[in-house]
Amino acid sequence: MPELTYLEAIRQALAEEMRRDPKVFVLGEDVGPYGGAFGVTQGLHEEFGELRVIDTPISESAIIGISIGASQRGYRPVAEMQFADFVSCGFDQIVNQAATLRYRYGGRASVPIVVRLPSGGGVNGGLYHSQNPEAWFVHRAGLKVVAPSTAYDAKGLLKAAIRDDNPVLYFEHKYLYRREKGAVPEGDETVPIGVAAIRREGRDATLVTYGAMVRPSLEAADRLSKDGIEVEVIDLRTLLPYDKAAILQSVEKTSRVLIVHEDVKTLGVGAELSATIVEERFEYLDAPVMRVTSPDTHVPFSHVLEQAILPNIDTITDGLRRLAGY
Amino acid sequence: MPPIKRTKFKLAPEQLLDMFYWLKLIRAFDERLSILVRQGKVRSGVYTGIGQEAIIVGTVFALRKEDYVCPLHRDLGSFLMKGVEPRVMMSQMFAKTTGLSKGRDSALHSGANELGIFGNTSMLGANLPVAAGLALTYKMEKRDNVVVAYFGEGASNTGDFHEALNFAGVQHLPIVFVCENNQYAYSVPVEKSMAIDDVADRAESYGFDGVAINGNDVLAVYQATQGALARARTGGGPTLIECKTYRWHGHSEHDKAFYRSDEELAMWRSRDPIPTFTTYLKHMKVLDDKQLQEIEAHVATTIDDAVEFAANAPEPAPEDAVTDLYA
């Protein structure tokens, strides 16, 4: 299998799906000849032309609304938000139009659209180029939300998202674009939506995470391993619908859970996971379900400030030690 | 951009009678809904288009089966004219399983892709980007079909209006934007929500033509629509048609509309699109008293049958509150 970066894997998924299915097209700001703000759509305009790689005005709500409209005639649009932060300008079309359509049509229609969301901090992006808005959407029935952490999953999950008949929000972490690299299969392989991956097996504690937090979590787990504590690391990959069975199975084995995410703490994805674990596996727990997250603030511009809030190997390691101390 | 040509048209007597039937049926449907709300048989979600029917009849009558409509919340008539059975439409208002959304939502928040109907949310203007997306697919396929998207003068103040019309102008999409300017956005009169007189003027800033017409004249609406459709079908891009009209009832059936004067309402009621058209048809010897009675009887039977059907249709099962969320 060829080695690709996370970013190249996304691009390859787009190109392959567009070749496979003439109903797949791409739209967004600067996605045309320029190739996207991060270069994800480079080469697509050249290969597929301006009717399938559409440069749009700065109109996030229209980008998503247009996608919904096209989907009603059998198309599978992939809309790019230039930054996940900008999705707030298209929020209504996602949560009110796309998420409810099948329900209010009595099951007689579906909305096969993908919204790509370059998200996350660690890139000195400041307040409006660093956000992790996944929790806003995990709260809304009718949507699916995925967040790959590896190049392999970036490709496979995007292909699965494009083929899915529901609106899928695809969170691609900017920090991983060129830093994350790995073997990626060519061709038709997809990664199923709704299935977590166990990145590391362990018997003493479960660490549940996703996106850019997977790698530092694995490194923290390695540190604890040196002290004889074996941590199981679960990469959620899909946040809605998340793989509850995989988490609960691991909890039954380890009896201790740490949830790690880059998004802020209050009512982040971790809050829901924690509540579910306590509700459904209380009798298995030997310790409180704990979280390592960003504090309830914004993602600041200053390198010093940004590093002060983002979870890292040290803070995750500390979290695991506190958990193991129970 | 040259103004749309005054299209010549000659409608056969049967077509004129068809138009007349739709005007009468849509009026009767809304009037019955108004009564059903007062009787507590329909719980809410009734936003009548009484007084505005000529807009729907004049536009939809000019469409082909494969063309799409993206109605606003008063455009129940467009559902009927595009082929939704009155029984199904009434069931939708009764929140029964036989309605379009099986009781999940009321009114026009549902659609039918096989009939070319998109159902909007309550977010007015949010149907316009969707309409642009539908029209984009016609352009991709080089088909000569058209999307007709409806909105009120109120929704013309939303960001979605601007984003959609701008995109449609840039992409030269086969779409007709129909503004139903009924003078009020709920309680706010047009002069308090716009600093210009005509929504039609807004089209110029998107690079296409806008016309303001008498929305209570079904033939004027039909003629303007024909011109806009001919342009859209031949690659000439979008048109905005602003239909000046008036909402007789309140915003919804619970709104007593105290914010407007009796004189104003009386003036607009005197411009009721139906008697005007009736007089015309009689003058043209297309309609006589016997035909009028027959049409009225047929309308009454159709509405009675729809109400009977909907009232006796099954309620949704409680467990259906959580189904049809995902494909």
* Domain identity same for A31 and A177: yes
Same domain for A203 and A167, yes or no, is no
* Amino acid A74: pLDDT: 98
Q: What is the mean pLDDT of residues B3-12?
A: 72
Strands B68-70 and B147-152, how do they pair? Answer: parallel
For all residues of chain A together, what is the average pLDDT?
98
Assigned domain for A190 exists: no
Sign of the Cα torsion A63, A68, A70, A74 reads positive
Residues A210, A302: one domain? yes
Number of domains in chain A: 2
CB contact under 8 A, B167 and A62: yes
Torsion of CA A250, A254, A257, A258, to 10 degrees: -100
According to the model, what pLDDT value does residue B106 have?
Answer: 85
Q: Which residues pair with A172 in a beta bridge?
A: A118
User: Quick check: A293 pLDDT over 90?
Assistant: yes
Count the neighbouring beta carbons within 10 Å of the beta carbon of residue B283.
9
Q: Which residues of B touch A (CB under 8 A)?
A: 99-102, 104-105, 109-113, 118-119, 121-123, 126, 128-137, 139-140, 159-160, 163-164, 166-167, 170, 323-327
Domain identity same for A141 and A237 = no
pLDDT recorded at residue B3:
57
Residue B217: predicted pLDDT: 97
For residue A135, give the CATH number of its domain: 3.40.50.970
Residue A191 lies in a domain: no
Identify whether residues A40 and A82 lie together within a single domain.
yes
Residue-level pLDDT at B107 = 84
pLDDT score, position B6: 61
Residue A189, domain member (yes or no): no
A171 closest CA partner among A207, A202, A214: A214
CA A94 to chain CA centroid, Å, is 16
Last residue of a domain, one of A183, A210, A242: A183
Confidence class for position A61, pLDDT limits 50, 70, 90? very high
Interface contact B167-A67, CB threshold 8 A: no
Asked whether residue A230 is assigned to any structural domain, the reply reads yes
pLDDT at B44: 81
Are B113 and A73 an interchain contact pair (Cβ–Cβ within 8 Å)? yes
- The reply to whether ipTM tops 0.85 is yes
Q: B103 vs chain A: nearest CA distance in angstroms?
A: 8
Distance CA B171, CA A103 (A): 31
- Are residues A248 and A105 located together in one domain of the fold? no
Tens-digit pLDDT profile for residues B59-110: 999 999 999 999 999 999 999 999 999 999 999 999 999 999 999 998 899 9
Note the pLDDT tens digit of each residue in B164-177: 999 999 999 999 99
Per-residue DSSP letter, B208: S
Has residue A188 been placed in a domain? Answer: no
Q: Which domain holds residue A242?
A: 197-324
Contact B130 A72 (CB under 8 A): yes
Q: How many C-alpha atoms does A305 have within 13 Å on its Cβ side?
A: 11
Check residue B45 and give its pLDDT. Answer: 80
Whether B10 shows a pLDDT value over 90: the answer reads no
Q: What percent of chain B has pLDDT over 90?
A: 95
Domain boundaries, chain B: 13-65+126-312
**Partner-chain residue, chosen from A61, A104, A141, that has the shortest CB–CB distance to B129:** A61
Residue B164 has its nearest CB partner, among A62, A72, A142, at A62
Domain final position from A183, A211, A242: A183
Per-residue pLDDT at B9: 76
**Token pair of A93 as six digits:** 């079309």
Query: For residue A57, is the peptide bond before it cis, meaning its omega torsion is within 30 degrees of 0?
Result: no
Chain A contacts to B (CB-CB under 8 A): 25, 51-52, 54, 56-57, 59, 61-62, 64-73, 75, 77, 92-93, 96-97, 100, 102-110, 112, 141-142, 144, 164-166
Contacts B133 to A, Cβ<8 Å? 65-72, 77
- Taking the alpha carbons at both ends of chain A, their separation in whole angstroms is 44
Q: Supply angle C-alpha A113, A119, A123, rounded to 5.
A: 155
User: A38 and A163: one domain?
Assistant: yes
Domain B13-65+126-312 of CATH type 1.10.3720.10: no
A214-245 pLDDT tens trace = 999 999 999 999 999 999 999 999 999 999 99
Nearest Cα to B253, choosing from B22, B73, B117?
B73
Q: Please answer yes or no on whether B163 and A92 come within 8 Å at the CB atom.
A: no
Inspect the interface and report whether the beta carbons of B160 and A62 lie closer than 8 Å.
yes
Greatest Cα pair distance in chain A: 60
Confidence of residue A89 (pLDDT cuts 50, 70, 90): very high
Q: Please tell me the predicted confidence (pLDDT) of residue B2.
A: 52
- Which of A117, A83, A122, A326 is closest to A215 using CA atoms? A122
Which residues in chain B touch residue A164, judged by CB atoms under 8 angstroms apart?
A: 327
> Is residue A129 annotated as a catalytic residue, yes or no?
yes
Could you give the angle at which helices B273-283 and B53-60 cross, rounded to 10 degrees?
60
Q: Please say if the pLDDT value at position B268 is more than 70.
A: yes
Beta carbons within 8 Å of A4's beta carbon, 6+ residues apart:
A12, A151, A155, A181, A182, A184
Residue A58 in any domain: the answer is yes
**B139: which chain A residues are within 8 Å (Cβ-Cβ)?**
51
* pTM score above 0.90: yes
DSSP annotation of B315 reads P
Q: Residue A294's domain is classified under what CATH number?
A: 3.40.50.920
pLDDT at A34 over 80: yes
Residues B209-230 have a mean pLDDT of 97
Could you tell me if A96 and B123 are in contact, meaning their C-beta atoms sit under 8 angstroms apart? yes
SS3 A266: coil
Nearest to A105 among B101, B134, B170 (CB): B101
**Which of B136, B172, B175, B323 is the best substitution to test chain A (most A C-beta atoms within 10 A)?**
B136
Residue A38: which residues within 8 A CB-CB, separation 6 or more? A7, A118, A174, A177
pLDDT one-digit tens code per residue, A183-213 = 999 888 999 999 999 999 999 999 999 999 9
Q: What is the mean pLDDT of residues B116-143?
A: 97
Same domain, A164 and A264: no
The predicted pLDDT at position A141 comes to 98
The closest CB to that of B133, out of A66, A96, A107, belongs to: A66
Residue A278, both tokens:
């306590």
B167·A66 Cβ contact <8 A: yes
Task: Let me know if residue A34 belongs to a domain.
Answer: yes
Q: Is residue A166 part of a domain?
A: yes
Q: Which of A130, A157, A183 is the last residue of a domain?
A: A183
Do A140 and A275 belong to one domain? no
**In this structure, are A147 and A10 located in the same domain?**
yes
Verify that A269 and A141 share a domain, yes or no. no
Cα nearest neighbour of B121 on chain A: A97
Long-range contacts: A273-281, Cβ < 8 Å, 24+? A273/A208, A273/A242, A273/A247, A276/A244, A276/A247, A277/A247, A277/A248, A277/A251, A280/A248, A281/A248, A281/A251, A281/A252
Is A94 within 8 Å of B98 (Cβ atoms)?
Answer: no
**Per the CB < 8 Å rule, is B327 touching A72?**
no
Helix-helix angle B218-233:B53-60, to 10 degrees: 40
Model pLDDT, residue B4 = 58
